[in-house]
Each structure stands twice: as C-alpha cells, then as structure tokens.
Amino acid sequence: MKERNLFQKIFLPKPANHQKNTTWALMKQNKQSYALIAPYFILFFTFTVLPVMMAIGLSFTTFNMLQPPQFVGWNNYIRLFLENEVFMVALQNTLIIAVVAGPISYLLCFTFAWIINEMPPKIRAVMTVIFYAPSISGNVFFVWLWFFSGDRYGLVNGWLLRLGFIDQAINFFRDPRFILPLLLVVQVWLSLGVAFLAFIAGLQTVDKAMYEAGAMDGIRNRWQELWFITLPSMKPQMMFGAVMSITAAFSVGDISIQLAGFPSVAYAGETIVTHMQDFGWIRFEMGFASAIAVILFLMMVGTNKAIQRLLRKVGT
C-alpha cells in the first residue's frame, strides 16, 4: 500500500510528463479545475466583462431603451468633446479630484499605516478602527452636512459666526466656490479603505531581521529605514493600494449627488460619474451615457496601468 502511494506521489500529480503536452491534454487533465471556476466566471463574464463590451458597443449608437439601438459611428464622442460643455466641467472636476484626492489618500494610507505600525498593538487596533471606519460606514458621509450646513446651526457656520469671521451663514454645499474643495475633503476622509488595511498588514509582514541587518549596515534613522528597507519590501502592497486608490478617486459621484445635489449649483460638483448618470438614468440617452462610461473606463485603466509601471521601478 505504501509503495503504491509513493508511486502515485511521483506520477499522479504530474501525469503530463507522459502524455503529449498539448493544451488540449492539459485542459482535459484540469477539467476539475474548470468545473470549480465555472460558476464564478460565468457570472463574472455576465456581469463584468460583457457589460464593458456592451458599453463600448452602445457608445457608437443612440439608444433610449425603447427603440433598438441605431449605429451613429463616432457621433457620441464628437458630441461629447465638442458640443457638451458640461462634460468638460465634469472632466475637469474628475481630474482635479483624481489628481488631488487620489495621491493624498494614497500617501495618507501609507503614512498612517506606517506610524500606526510603531504603536503598541492595542493602540494600533484602536487607531486602525478610527481611520478605517469612515470608509465602511455606508452613508455616514451625510454627517458632513451637519458640519457644513448652510444655516447658522451648522457647526462650521456657528464657529465662524461666533469668532466674527463672517456675519452671515455660508451655504457651503450650494456655493460653487466651496463645493469642489469640500468634496475633496469628504473623499479623502472616506478613502482610507482597503489600501490602508493592505498597508497595515504589509508592514507587519516585513521581515524584522531586515531592520536589524539594516542597522548593522549603517541605516541611521527611520527615514532611511523607510526608504531602503520598508518601501522595497512592501512593493506588492503598494501596487495593490495604488489600484484601489486610483479606482476610488475616479469613481467619485455618489457623494457629490448626496451632498451637493444633482445637478449641483453651476455644475460645481459635476463629475464624469454624475454626468453619466444624468444622461443615462434621467435623459435615457444610453448610447451617449455609454460613451461617457467608456471614457471613464479608459481613464481609470490607463491611469492604473501607468502608475503600475511607475511603481514597479521603485527600489529596483
């Protein structure tokens, strides 16, 4: 019996050595694997891959959900960039949010995780909850309406009035000057999510012996330690965190609708996402909305790919 087991041990896991090593043979041999992944990937293709393809297809049509789509070539894209001024506002706002909130959130995620990591475990656990809680608390960002409420009962207005900086309450979320900066604040507040956790976890797995070796080799302070040891060891988590941060920064839309209204005053809070929802779910111009979605898709994936390439060079 034991011999048999040994025999199997040697030959069963890799029977490919004996068969012809064609793709078909490999596929047959792994049919159980395919069976296991099938349920997930059937759904994944139905609800993620197919929709992306459909969005690309629909973006070349006009479609109102009642009549069948009609092919119009590049018309939607031409209209989007040449005739749709609000789209330019939305594009600009989205880029501002992505360029400001994305990197800030990413850096904060890392910095916080790095500082927290030096704390005793109990304090570390409490700090993790404080920083992570906003991103998992659902619609708690409504709380910002209490801070920046437009009447004098809002906390910020109350403080400013009492200190004499203003003599009339500012209607923060209805004033085009304040909408975008406030959305940035809220977005940063919300954005310490999965990336933050990944960094905390990553820091805990950096080999401790590396730090000791580093100290022997003349690492003098924590900044050198960070640059020469911690960052290179955490590269995989850094890449994962970047993907999460970038994707989140480009997807800002819901907080704008909930806080600044839909549409926001003078479109000051309009982002590509809100613009898409305007055309998709309010005007039912599905083809046009799909063109907006495709642009957003390309921006997200393009930025992600570019940043990945950049991060790959860190510490190599």
Partner 1 sequence: MSVVSKRTHKSQFAIYDERGRKIKLARRTKKLSRSLGGTIALFIFIGIFAVFMGMPMVLTISNALKPLDELFYFPPRFFVRNPTLSNFSDLVISMQQTWVPFSRYLLNSFIITGFGTLGHLLFASMAAYPLAKNKFPGSEFLMGIVVLSLMFSGVVTGIPNFLIISQLGMVDTYWALIIPAFAFSLGLYLMKQFMEQVPDSLIESARIDGCLEIGIWWRIVMPNVKPAWLTLIILQFQALWATTGGVFLQSEELKPLTFAMNQVVGGGIARAGEGAAVMFITMMVPVTFFVVSQSRIVETMATSGMKE
Report if residue 30 touches partner 1, rule: CB under 8 A.
yes
DSSP letter string, 221-234: SHHHHIIIIIHHHT
- Closest distance to partner 1 from the beta carbon of 92 (Å): 18
Based on the number of CB atoms within 10 Å of its own CB, is 93 exposed (0-12), middle (13-18) or buried (19 or more)?
buried
User: Which one of the spans 88-96, 97-105, 172-180, 243-251 is the region binding partner 1 (CB under 8 A)?
Assistant: 243-251
What are all long-range contacts of 235-238, with beta carbons under 8 Å and residues at least 24 apart?
Answer: 235/311, 235/312, 235/314, 235/315, 236/202, 237/198, 237/199, 237/201, 237/202, 238/110, 238/199, 238/202, 238/311, 238/314
Nearer to partner 1, 50 or 266 (CB): 50
Candidates 97, 255, 268, 276; binder of partner 1 (CB under 8 A) is: 276
Q: How far is CA 251 from CA 92, 256, 307, in A?
A: 14, 11, 17
Bridge partner list, 62:
70
Contact pick of 281, 282, 283, 314 for partner 1 (by CB under 8 A)? 281
Q: Which residues pair with 70 in a beta bridge?
A: 62
Task: Tell me if 306 contacts partner 1 by CB under 8 A.
Answer: no
Least distance in angstroms from the C-beta of 128 to partner 1: 6
Contact residue for partner 1 among 19, 27, 64, 181 (CB under 8 A): 27
188 alpha carbon, distance to own chain's centre: 12
Q: How far is CA 227 from the centre of its chain?
A: 25
Lookup: tokens for 106? 């990413």
Q: Which is nearer to partner 1, 37 or 82 (CB)?
A: 37
Minimal distance in Å, beta carbon 63 to partner 1?
A: 9
Q: Work out whether 301 is an interface residue with partner 1 (CB under 8 A).
A: yes
Which of 83, 93, 73, 57 minimizes the C-alpha distance to 286?
57
Among 12, 73, 164, 168, binds partner 1 (CB under 8 A): 12
- Closer CB to partner 1, 84 or 271, in the complex: 271
Interface mask (CB under 8 A) for partner 1, residues 98-137, using x and -? ----------x--xx--xx-x-x----x-xxxxxxxx-xx
Residue 313 found at the interface with partner 1 (CB under 8 A): no
Binding test (CB under 8 A) with partner 1, winner from 204, 261, 310, 314: 204
